[in-house]
Structure 1
Amino acid sequence: MDVPEHEDLVRDLLTLRERGLIRLRDADLPHLRRAAALCHPATDPVAAVEKTLRDAVGRLGEGTLGSGAAYTFGLVQGTRDWSAAARRKRAADVYRLSVERFRKNQERMLLAQVADQIIALCGAGGEAALPRIAVGARIPVESDGGRAILQIRPIELISGVDVLVNPENVYLEMARVFSPSVSGAIRKAGSRRGPAGELLDDTVQRELHEWMAKHHRPGLTVAPGTVAPTGPGSLAFNGVRRVYHAAVAVPRPGTDHQDVTPSTIMLAVHRVFALAEEERVAYRLKTICFPLLGTGHGRLAVRPGLHWLWSAISENLARSRGWEVHLSVPEPEKADIVLRQLSP
């Protein structure tokens, strides 16, 4: 099977941008489907197209190019069902351009770059060139900035760590227990429940409210980058000793959006390590587990979010000896991005 021509791929990518991933199954994308069959021959044709697209965008790296492409196609968590106009607007925001200027210039460049990467994937053998990562795996990672253990599992199933870092908003109000977020998962897993599953104590959120009251902030915000400690509640059964709530997300008034900046991520990481040093002896702390801060509801693309997170972790590992760092990634696809980006 021949590799599709660049121009044909760009045309299909434009169609996919307009239709979105939620309408992928019914989209007429003959050239993208042919490329996907080369890259992921043993995968369902529709799933293969999305995998190939994610692989190609992931190869664009961190910064505006990768982030802009991720928003363009709705690959950022929470944007899959956004309209084409909303995705274009957010991608234009990445470049700090008007929507019209972005459409005429950067958007075309993004599509061409993604097409280039798809062609490269076809030539590299696609799926055969990617490592197979199983859910539940623990993978040691070594980079120029230090070492970590990558755990491919949801945050509430993480074990073997003393401190879980929970990305929170500046109100330090945890997500609802049914929310598909780290905050909601930690709140649910940390609560105390009866034999029929009834809630007996919303343990972690209660302790967070107590911390806010102690610091005279009930109903108010804390400064971005603030880190508040609580006990683990029922997460103690996993061996967790402390939960550090990092206020990294700033809600936009009147919207469902939250903003997370690189400087806030780095500040929060520094404060996590500082707090861990203070509590190290009292709670016998040795290990800290970070999710990919800001890449969920904060809507940062994985690569730039990981870049800023790991930069701050590396700085602290160089200063504070003896800490073991874990990274929590729930999906193999994101784990692959982490491994590629951190590998020297």
Structure 2
Amino acid sequence: MRVFICYKKRLLRQEEGVQVVQDNTKAEILHYILAQHEEYEPWMDDAALMAGMRWETEIYRQILASDVLLVLIGPGTSRSEWVRRELALATALGLAIVPLGFELSDEEMVAEVKALNLADRQYVMTRNIALARGDALILELAGALDHGARATAERQGRRRPRRTKARDDQRAAGFELPGGVALHLASGDIARVRGIDALVNPENDYMQMARFFESHTVSSLLRRRGATIKAGLYVDTIQQELDWQLRERGRPVQAGEAFATSAGGPGSDLAKVNRARAILHVAAVQAVDAESKVIPYKHPHQIQAAVRSVMAVLSDINAAEGVFSPPATPQRAEQERLAALGDGRLRSVILPLFGTGQGGAETSEVIRPIIEGLVDTTELVPDVREIYISCYAQEDLDIVAREVAVRLA
């Protein structure tokens, strides 16, 4: 369920007769909680849209693609012109609106919804917008969100998505590449994989990862799960490390180039839960600011170049015994610890289907150059003994399994 979070960035409240302005941190917490549940795909504007992208155009696109609009109503929300615009657009598009109130009395909430022309909507009042109360918040919201999504589908006459998520199975199918390297097809959600040393992130050519809030992208997922939380704030470890790796490079980088970062260090979810050690960021998307869009690289030679770059970076990392992060960082210390034990080298990697999804490339066309790139390079990196290909949809899994079987027969 795609949930558009509508909110006022700064809240207004009265304290002892004085108007106080404060940042609306609840919106970020709400997004984080929803994103932890795989049945929801939340989106919110954090005022950091890609340079050159028109704000109104992106908001329109996101609302149009959403199943429900969740409007976060706190002190002074009704005074926001942008909140009013988003609500008007959602209403015009037939999108269901779910009001969620916080830090308001019942009387104040009634006044806010009236001012926002939402008096006819049933609202939810909560005290559970906190990281430690996520499950309780979901219990409060689930019914209203589900009802709203069904109402939207009925109004808009939407069809069910044609792509069906495959069940989560890290080894849904197995093959063998030259040199005895195992090739596995990992179906379902890439966030569910465990014990794969290196995860490949198809990134734009400016090496600017997607925002935490764009949970429908691999880049956002890795950035969020690779971050650490200190004193309630995110430490954006992976993007910071990626910037360090590119400190002497101009941007944009060349198509297919790859750069390595850690998986966020020992404190990140990627390291603790997924047991990942590295992210290989490949320039697989061209950002075109003047046209407010990105263009995925999906020609066979570009895909093969991306695969070769991944394997070359793996070779370089293993030549350095797995030590490559910035000095004096927790992730570097962990890499040096493993190297001292003789366990620093990376043995496994998972690749995406470059250019599919929003890129629009056919899976059958993409998998062929991926396999050719692997056949040409796996023997050059003898330390790597397992390679995975991520197949989110069942349709992708079926096609990839067939194409790989034919090529490696």
TM-score normalized by structure 2?
0.48
Aligned to 1:201: 235
Aligned to 1:326: 388
Determine helix, strand or coil for the equivalent of 2:368. helix
**Structure 2 CA distance for aligned equivalents of residues 258 and 186 of structure 1:** 21
**Structure 1 CA distance for aligned equivalents of residues 177 and 387 of structure 2:** 15
Please give the per-residue CA displacement for 1:166-202, whole angstroms capped at 9, x wherever unaligned.
101100011122321111111111111258xx44201
Q: Is 1:236–2:240 an aligned residue pair?
A: no
Match of 2:281 among 245, 255, 265: 245
- Residue 199 to residue 151, structure 1, CA distance change in 2 (3 Å): farther
Aligned 1:1-344 pairs, distance under 5 A: 134-142=167-175, 147-179=182-214, 180-193=216-229, 198-213=232-247, 215-217=248-250, 220-233=251-264, 234=268, 235-237=270-272, 238-252=274-288, 253-260=290-297, 261-280=299-318, 281-282=321-322, 283-323=344-384, 324-344=386-406
Determine helix, strand or coil for the equivalent of 1:216. coil
Is the Cα contact below 8 Å between 2:183 and 2:388 reproduced in 1? yes
**Structure 1 CA distance for aligned equivalents of residues 228 and 383 of structure 2:** 33
TM-score normalized by structure 1?
0.56
Q: Which amino acid aligns with 1:334?
A: D
Is the Cα contact below 8 Å between 1:158 and 1:328 reproduced in 2? no
**Structure 2 CA distance for aligned equivalents of residues 223 and 207 of structure 1:** 19
Please give the per-residue CA displacement for 1:74-98, whole angstroms capped at 9, x wherever unaligned.
xxxx9x97xxxxxxxxxxxxxxxxx
**Structure 1 CA distance for aligned equivalents of residues 391 and 249 of structure 2:** 34
- Residue 144 to residue 136, structure 1, CA distance change in 2 (3 Å): closer
**Structure 2 CA distance for aligned equivalents of residues 201 and 268 of structure 1:** 29
CA RMSD of aligned residues (A): 2.6
- Residue 202 to residue 133, structure 1, CA distance change in 2 (3 Å): closer
Is the Cα contact below 8 Å between 1:251 and 1:258 reproduced in 2? yes
Shift of 1:255: 3.5
Greater shift in the superposed pair: 160-169 or 273-282: 273-282
**Structure 2 CA distance for aligned equivalents of residues 144 and 227 of structure 1:** 22
**Structure 2 CA distance for aligned equivalents of residues 325 and 189 of structure 1:** 22
- Residue 228 to residue 322, structure 1, CA distance change in 2 (3 Å): closer
- Residue 133 to residue 231, structure 1, CA distance change in 2 (3 Å): closer
Determine helix, strand or coil for the equivalent of 2:360. coil
Greater shift in the superposed pair: 240-249 or 278-287: 278-287
**Structure 1 CA distance for aligned equivalents of residues 402 and 220 of structure 2:** 29
Listed as ranges, the gaps of 5+ residues in structure 1 are 1-77, 82-131
Determine helix, strand or coil for the equivalent of 1:315. helix
Q: Which has the larger radius of gyration?
A: 2
Flag the structure with more relative contact order, 1 or 2, with Cα contacts below 8 A and sequence separation at least 6: 1
**Structure 2 CA distance for aligned equivalents of residues 226 and 151 of structure 1:** 24
Shift of 1:254: 0.8
Q: Which amino acid aligns with 2:281?
A: H
Aligned to 2:154: none
**Structure 2 CA distance for aligned equivalents of residues 206 and 137 of structure 1:** 29
**Structure 2 CA distance for aligned equivalents of residues 241 and 144 of structure 1:** 23
Query: Which structure shows the bigger proportion of residues in helix conformation?
Result: 1
Shift of 1:134: 2.9
**Structure 2 CA distance for aligned equivalents of residues 247 and 171 of structure 1:** 8
Please give the per-residue CA displacement for 1:151-170, whole angstroms capped at 9, x wherever unaligned.
11322222121111110110
Is the Cα contact below 8 Å between 2:355 and 2:361 reproduced in 1? yes
Is the Cα contact below 8 Å between 1:181 and 1:296 reproduced in 2? no
Is the Cα contact below 8 Å between 1:192 and 1:203 reproduced in 2? yes
**Structure 1 CA distance for aligned equivalents of residues 349 and 207 of structure 2:** 20
